[in-house]
Amino acid sequence: MNRFKDFLYDKNDIMVALVILIVAAVVIFFRINAIMDYPSTQTDQGGSAITETVFRS
């Protein structure tokens, strides 16, 4: 049992990172259409992707 606990303790950070990556990949995979449609949604609503910055002296 101690050997199993040591393994979990040593590999815990890697497992957490892998879980985070898997969750992010699943979210992106299922939302890819919404992500790809976002620029056209912005232009349809009259939004501008480029903003101007005016500097006053």
Please write the tens of the pLDDT for every residue from 1-33: 889 888 888 899 999 999 999 999 999 999 998
- Whether 47 has a pLDDT exceeding 60, the answer reads no
- pLDDT average, residue stretch 22-48: 83
Dump the DSSP string for 1-57: -HHHHHHHHHHHHHHHHHHHHHHHHHHHHHHHHHHHHHHHHHHHTT--SS-------
Q: How far apart are CA 47 and CA 57, in angstroms?
A: 28
Evaluate if pTM is beyond 0.75.
Answer: no
